[in-house]
Amino acid sequence: MKIQLFGNLVDLAGKNHVEVENQPTTDKLIELLVTRFPELKDHQFLIAVNHEVISGKTELHPCDEIALLPPFSGG
């Protein structure tokens, strides 16, 4: 699955998206991303699934659009 990254998370990963093997839940996904990018633990971010910010453990499907969103700073 493709995870879109924004803001300072693009700096952390060196690109605006990462590809990972399909994960069943957001918890598993974050666990996997932290092993790949340990500094992610020190970053604040929300998880959006299909353009909705989710809270708590959420089930994922291979075709879901997933994005990690650091604190917003528009305006």
Binding site for other proteins (CB under 8 A): 4, 6-8, 48, 51, 67, 69-75
Report how far apart, in Å, the C-alpha atoms of 73 and of each of 5, 8, 15, 58 are.
15, 11, 20, 26
Q: How far is the CB of 45 from other proteins (least distance, A)?
A: 11
Pick 63 or 72: Cβ nearer other proteins: 72
Q: How far is the CB of 65 from other proteins (least distance, A)?
A: 8
Pick 7 or 64: Cβ nearer other proteins: 7
Q: Which two tokens stand for residue 10?
A: 């693009």
